[in-house]
Structure 1
Amino acid sequence: MPQIKGVIFDWAGTTVDYGSFAPVQAFLDTFGEVGIEVKPEEIRRFMGMRKKEQLAALCRLPGIAAQWEERIETEPGAENLDWLYELFESHLFKSLSGYTEPIGGVVELVERLRNRGLKIGSTTGYTRRMMEVVMPGAAIRGYAPDLVVTPDEVPGGRPRPWMIWQNAMTLDLYPLSGVVKVGDTVADIQEGVNAGTWVIGILEGGNELGLTEAETAKLAG
């Protein structure tokens, strides 16, 4: 096994925002405002992608597309996606600052990794503007990776490997077989596989489980 030189973490559902609730609620509010019913599990199915791409994927689901055509009287094309995404951003920014608390154990883990000489990178489905809200809230509570790369800074988001590769270039992490990607979504796992890194999937506190800390504690109890 090669020497591990760095770890690249996801954000929501992995290092902050236990259960990854900020984007889920914003999507629920967005579709609710235009009278379309969407289920949390449908939203979570595409979590980890760049948020505009996630929105497009949701609009392609048969049930949502049918509701859209009935209420909006047109197919959810690119022009509709633009204003719907603006609506999503408005909902997300109203609440995002309240979802920046590091998940329990993250701050301590990162400290141990740094003490061993590892570099700490990160990728996300959030844009840079969104991360400008998340990063200060996490930093004041003790979590600040060495680098944050967002999908609007590279040719495309997950499952493409570009954000990981940008981390590797900037932090001088080579070879990629000496890098570990950690995330809580299918898109995170695909991103790491496509980039050629080791991959660790997170369940507790993550998107796939989608529970609050109290709900998780009941399962363990």
Structure 2
Amino acid sequence: MKNIKLAVLDMAGTTVDENNVVYKTVQKVINDKGFNLSLAEILAHGAGKEKHQAIIDVLRECTDATDITTIAASAFENFKPELEHAYEQLDVKSFDGVQAAITSLRKRGIYVVLNTGYNTQTATSLLGKLGWEIGKDIDGLITSDDVTNGRPAPDMIFKAMELCQVTDPKTVLKAGDSTIDIEEGKRAGCGLTVGVLTGAQTAKQLEKAQPDHILSSVAELGKIC
């Protein structure tokens, strides 16, 4: 087993069960521009990314649109109000066993930081709906607003390391439900990269990024660290 000092965990689909509401909202604002894309296409090309970038990448990969920059900017402008409306009606919870697993890691002296392609407002809203507090339930939250470069760049992991005063990336575990989470962990030089099957992508899809482990859930992290 690795000498893990910090676990950096993705939010939606990894620790937080929000029924894919964010990606369903991405799907809606894109399709409102005259497209007919499936949720599977949105997840395949947008999962784990800062949402403006996700919209750009989905349009680039799944449509023959020529003015992608303009369409994406307009769709993203609609994204935040649409998401706020969706969240007002949403029952957010953590996946079974996740809170207990996080508590267990922290009791063993392992820092737990959540990171996300969401902006700070959205991520903080999610934490509030869960009733989780920084310093009480987790050690930190890093969002796309906190860094210059979003996933798969390693900036958010480095920010989490700085927050927790962890200097060696080999003592860091990164877990997430999408290949971009795994790529982020590998670019940061993390000692362990872990895919989980509670969210956006299947085991076959996750295997393409060659994680060290694929688990059913974050609840199983105690088996490997």
The two structures share one fold, judged by TM-score above 0.5: yes
Distance 2:72 2:169 in 1: 36
Q: Which has the higher contact order (CA 8 A, sep 6+)?
A: 1
Where do 1:176-195 residues align within 5 Å?
176-195=169-188
2:41 matches 1:42: yes
Task: Give the C-alpha shift of residue 141 in structure 1.
Answer: 9.7
* 1:10-47 C-alpha deviation (Å, 9 max, x unpaired): 000000026x5112210222123222100111101120
The residue number in structure 2 matching 1:175 is 168
2:89 matches 1:90: no
Where do 1:32-181 residues align within 5 Å?
32-45=31-44, 46-61=46-61, 63-65=62-64, 68=65, 75-96=66-87, 98=90, 100-139=92-131, 144-181=137-174
Query: 1:129–1:165: structure 2 CA closer, same or farther, 3 Å change rule?
Result: same
Q: For 2:78, what is the secondary structure of its paired residue?
A: helix
Q: Which amino acid aligns with 1:5?
A: K
Query: 1:103–1:2: structure 2 CA closer, same or farther, 3 Å change rule?
Result: closer
Report if the CA contact (8 A) 1:102-1:141 is conserved.
Answer: no
Give the structure with the larger strand fraction.
2
> What TM-score does the superposition give when structure 1 sets the normalisation length?
0.83
**Which of 122-131 and 181-190 deviates more?**
122-131
The residue number in structure 2 matching 1:71 is none
Distance 2:170 2:104 in 1: 21
5+ unaligned residues in a row in structure 2: which ranges? 204-215, 217-225
2:41 matches 1:4: no
5+ unaligned residues in a row in structure 1: which ranges? 69-74, 211-215, 217-221
Report if the CA contact (8 A) 1:121-1:146 is conserved.
Answer: yes
Q: Which amino acid aligns with 2:78?
A: L
Identity of aligned residues (%): 25
Distance 2:72 2:195 in 1: 31
Report if the CA contact (8 A) 1:99-1:134 is conserved.
Answer: no
Report if the CA contact (8 A) 2:33-2:71 is conserved.
Answer: no
